[in-house]
Structure 1
Amino acid sequence: MNRRNALKLAASGLVGLYLSPLLAQKNVFSSSVSNGPFEPNWDSLAKYVVPDWFRDAKFGMWAHWGPQCEPEAGDWYGRGMYEEGSRQYKIHVEKYGHPSKFGFKDVINVWKADNWNPEELVNLYKDAGAKYFMAMANHHDNLDLYDSKYQPEWNSTKLGPKKDIIGGWEKAARKAGLPFAASVHAAHAWNWFDTSKGADKNGPLAGVPYDGNLTKADGAGTWWEGLDPQDLYAQNHPLSGTPSDNSSIHSQWNWGDGASVPSSAYSEKFHDRTIDLIEKYNPDMIYFDDTAFPLWPVSDAGLRIAAHMYNKSLQKNKTVQAVITGKILTEQQRKTMVWDIEKGQSNNIEPLPWQTDTCIGNWHYDRNVYNDKRYKSAKTVIHTLIDVVSKNGNLMLNIPVRGDGSIDELERTIVKEIGVWMKLNSKSIYGTRPWKIFGEGPQQASAGALTAQGFNEGKGKPYTAEDIRFAQKDKKLYATVMAWPENGTAVIKNLGTSNPYHTEKIRQIKLVSTGEKLKFKQSEQGLEVYFPSKKPEASYANPLEII
């Protein structure tokens, strides 16, 4: 996009008047991308078609893992530890000391990842049924978890574990034969870390600045001598006009609501870091934790990254096999990438493939979730997967990793239980496409509406044997009865002879988990399927193969 078009965008109100000074800067928008038909604009990127490997995979697993897992105190620790009086602040002060003396940079230093075995974990996830694997390349904490040319000091090969985390995950995924994805979150470090620039308002250290105010010169005689904390905390700029407290930062995610606008230099550095990631590790998929592409609409850096990745994939594969995901997308933007819904599900069959990402616990490892046994059950995960697949979606599931690189025994049990169901029933999942309707039953009437980037999971009533979810493949209809019918009979109303959806004569019904042929009776009111007296393993969801 050239400067003239950028100014038109600003005038249209999509960017807002507060962005006009940024758009006037030199080289805010650049058109340098790899050669190919995809250009860094919405119309050109709308030619994108989601590859079949992604549509067929249906189920991926994710290691949302980095130094914020070291304190075992949950997600957004690097921000929350600077919020006076918060749970994470209190944990930090007790565990490490005051954030004016021991800041997030020091958390990175004590993170060693000494029990990390990427090959073992990736193989565990593959055995549980995952068809692609994703690892976090950086979070809002701005530390690159790879050998980063453009973040040369603050990356995991130089600090903390001194390991190429992405390199290790990528090698393990390739060896396991799984497509490899990387999640990129660092675009928001600009204002996510503004809490690090604060100070206590109360207590004996009131007014003493947190370590987000430190500069390179302050490091003399410390472990971080020669490093510039501002390259990590990204706070060499005015803070947001509206204070980015815990509530307002979410409204600033698209760089509105008074957010401090990133500079051209910051945007270009993010672009270069991400291109470096793509060139070194060749991910099949990039997950962006952003509204649309990263830094839009203040920069076209994300558009250029997408054009580069699609063109690169096209040159290598003759067709585009790359996948990029983004959140809170307009109808046009959903044509340019895969729509990702965070911790939520669509309530309809979506015309284009989409993905939900969720977690069995907290995004970053949280010891309290473990202690209180608050992980999602295998049953909940499988119900989510079946519902998502019926609506043309994929499920990306995070298994929180401890700071040392291991997962705990409760998580391991859940992963294995997921694998039990998948081994018995996955033919009703992999490679399927939506049917004419996604399902029937009382659960959907109680489902919550999407809010922001999702967040409606778990708001509906529990599934019962009256709840059915449909999918199809190879001229076979899969109808999953979402609980075992205790009276021995499942009734599928939308397969009655008076129903317009299924007009072919039903010849055979099998219970997918056992292959057993089931007796049935079809009437105008519905299809009655008579279940066996003995339940198979993991009978909380029971796909039927209908031909």
Structure 2
Amino acid sequence: VGAALLLLLALGAAESRHRAWPRRGAHQRYTPDWESLDARPLPGWYDEAKFGVFVHWGVYSVPAWGSEWFWWHWKGEGQRQYELFMKKNYPPGFSYADFGPQFTATFFEPDDWADLFRAAGARYVVLTAKHHEGFTNWPSPVSWNWNSQDLGPHRDLVGELGTALRKRNIRYGLYHSLLEWFHPLYLLDKKNGFKTQYFVSSKTMPELYDLVNRYKPDLIWSDGEWECPDTYWNSTDFLAWLYNDSPVKDQVVVNDRWGQNCSCHHGGFYNCQDKYMPKSLPAHKWEMCTSVDKSSWGYRRNMVMAGIASEEEIISELVQAVSLGGNYLLNVGPTKDGVIVPIFQERLLAVGKWLSISGEAIYASQPWRVQSDRNTTSVWYTSKVPDVYAILLQWPKNGVLYLASPKTTSATKVTMLGLEGDLKWSQDPGQGLFISLPQLPPSALPVKFAWTLKLTGVE
């Protein structure tokens, strides 16, 4: 192992030297510092996409209890409920590694997943290539016998899903954890106060380069950064290579989790924190990531309906996020067999059905001059020049909607997406609008929640 480690370190150093070589005729090159990297324009596809699906899938899907942090809660923190769970359900001496062969992916059909995600209206999908447990869903050359090719499924899960998604023109993102809770080299670096980088040189960076070169992802969703600064992770060196010389240099998008000092400050789009939703329009592109199961990202056998986000909650968050200039990344956790359970499918398909009517107001939209009507927060605005969209989360009791923000012109028209014909409106003395909504039974409306009005000829 020692000789292998030295060889990896030498290869990593050689790779670093190779990456530093200038290329003739190259575009303006980014330097490995945040001032340069943060100046890179965000590729346009990401902002236009608006809605994506997140997939947390790994060895934690085998115990499928508590959350995807099962191993840490059990062995890192020694939480009593996890110890009792193991004592009750598994034989003495059963280790976390023993879960590995049971991660079978027996029923994983990547084309079925991709069809579901397309029906959900997702324009991008982010799969956990490696979570904090260190198990890789592809045949990583530096994750010996702790990857999906050597153990469990004996399949390249990352590669198979990528092939299926790309056949359907869905962008492919890969989640990658920088740290691994119990990797000996990470623990050694931690013991050394992160003054050494044995883990980064032999594990983190080789895997990131391998993922990019092998699968050419459209997005890298980094995580697991919080214990160390970006200088420990060599994040800026990697990102400079990614933007300058990688096979995805022109289209790749990254988030902001590249060191404990980076979240909400450096990187591509900002996540800031899990389930982040700003109160007002941020100056920087951002994304809200959240999960259908409110208490976990990975699949839990013990989840109950009370802990599942409703269709209305999900669509409300999607509308609000897009109105505030963000993207919305909605997570599901498959079972160890590779099944996306029916309740998760139902929620995804409900979003897709809504987007099939209202997507015009979501995809490739821009924030309007106001994000929600100052008269009520149940109306959120998006825009596509020259049109403005008002998305109504609550139906007024008298069937007349008042919008204070739009200013009418001689060309003003109001329609509802999914219905034929114009809606009647009248002007408020303060330049607002009174709109008579369709007098139809709920079953005749184009959607059962979050109705979208298209305002043409308003300022």
Q: Given the two structures, how large is their TM-score scaled by the length of structure 1?
A: 0.72
Task: Specify the alignment match of 2:214 in structure 1.
Answer: 280
Aligned amino acid, residue 301 of structure 2: R
| 1:131 shift after superposition | 0.6
| 1:45 shift after superposition | 0.6
Task: Specify the alignment match of 2:333 in structure 1.
Answer: 400
1:316–1:129 CA distance, 2 compared to 1 (3 A): closer
Pick aligned residue for 2:360 from 420, 423, 427: 427
CA contact (8 A) 1:65 1:136 kept: yes
Alignment of 1:74-473 (within 5 A): 74-82=67-75, 83-98=77-92, 101-185=93-177, 187-189=178-180, 192-193=181-182, 232=183, 234=185, 237=188, 260-261=193-194, 263-269=196-202, 270-291=204-225, 295-312=228-245, 320-327=250-257, 334=265, 336-341=267-272, 342-361=274-293, 362-369=296-303, 371-440=304-373, 467-473=378-384
CA contact (8 A) 2:189 2:199 kept: no
CA contact (8 A) 2:59 2:100 kept: yes
| 1:151 shift after superposition | 2.1
| SS at structure 1 position matched to 2:343 | helix
1:349–1:367 CA distance, 2 compared to 1 (3 A): same
Say whether residues 1:485 and 2:436 are aligned partners. Answer: no
C-alpha separation between the residues in 2 aligned to 1:489 and 1:329?
Answer: 50
CA-based RMSD = 2.7
Task: Specify the alignment match of 1:527 in structure 2.
Answer: 433
> How many aligned positions are there?
427
C-alpha separation between the residues in 1 aligned to 2:224 and 2:263?
Answer: 16
C-alpha separation between the residues in 1 aligned to 2:106 and 2:327?
Answer: 32
1:331–1:107 CA distance, 2 compared to 1 (3 A): closer
C-alpha separation between the residues in 1 aligned to 2:31 and 2:161?
Answer: 31
Percentage of matched positions with identical amino acids: 23
Say whether residues 1:540 and 2:449 are aligned partners. Answer: yes
| SS at structure 2 position matched to 1:491 | strand
1:79–1:466 CA distance, 2 compared to 1 (3 A): closer
CA contact (8 A) 1:48 1:335 kept: no
C-alpha separation between the residues in 2 aligned to 1:415 and 1:480?
Answer: 20
1:233–1:433 CA distance, 2 compared to 1 (3 A): same
CA contact (8 A) 1:115 1:406 kept: yes
Aligned amino acid, residue 380 of structure 1: E
CA contact (8 A) 1:111 1:160 kept: yes
Pick which of 79-88 and 119-128 moved more: 79-88
C-alpha separation between the residues in 2 aligned to 1:394 and 1:428?
Answer: 13
Task: Specify the alignment match of 1:23 in structure 2.
Answer: none
Provide structure 1 residue ranges, at least 5 long, that are not aligned to the other structure: 1-25, 194-231, 241-258, 443-464, 496-501
Task: Specify the alignment match of 1:53 in structure 2.
Answer: 45
1:262–1:425 CA distance, 2 compared to 1 (3 A): farther
1:31–1:531 CA distance, 2 compared to 1 (3 A): farther
| 1:376 shift after superposition | 0.6
| SS at structure 1 position matched to 2:137 | coil
C-alpha separation between the residues in 1 aligned to 2:237 and 2:338?
Answer: 33
C-alpha separation between the residues in 2 aligned to 1:329 and 1:301?
Answer: 13
1:414–1:262 CA distance, 2 compared to 1 (3 A): farther
C-alpha separation between the residues in 2 aligned to 1:331 and 1:161?
Answer: 35
C-alpha separation between the residues in 2 aligned to 1:471 and 1:372?
Answer: 32
| 1:135 shift after superposition | 0.6
Task: Specify the alignment match of 1:494 in structure 2.
Answer: 405
CA contact (8 A) 2:166 2:172 kept: yes
Per-residue CA shift, 1:226-284, capped at 9, x if unaligned? xxxxxx565653866xxxxxxxxxxxxxxxxxx95273111112111111111000000
Task: Specify the alignment match of 2:422 in structure 1.
Answer: 517
Aligned amino acid, residue 340 of structure 1: N
C-alpha separation between the residues in 2 aligned to 1:69 and 1:468?
Answer: 39
| 1:148 shift after superposition | 0.9
| 1:503 shift after superposition | 6.6
Aligned amino acid, residue 93 of structure 1: K
CA contact (8 A) 2:255 2:267 kept: no
Per-residue CA shift, 1:446-481, capped at 9, x if unaligned? xxxxxxxxxxxxxxxxxxx75211111131101111
Aligned amino acid, residue 81 of structure 2: R
C-alpha separation between the residues in 2 aligned to 1:417 and 1:121?
Answer: 16
CA contact (8 A) 1:32 1:304 kept: no
CA contact (8 A) 2:263 2:270 kept: no
C-alpha separation between the residues in 1 aligned to 2:170 and 2:340?
Answer: 20
Q: Given the two structures, how large is their TM-score scaled by the length of structure 2?
A: 0.86
C-alpha separation between the residues in 1 aligned to 2:185 and 2:114?
Answer: 33
Aligned amino acid, residue 76 of structure 1: W
Provide structure 2 residue ranges, at least 5 long, that are not aligned to the other structure: 1-11
CA contact (8 A) 2:138 2:147 kept: yes
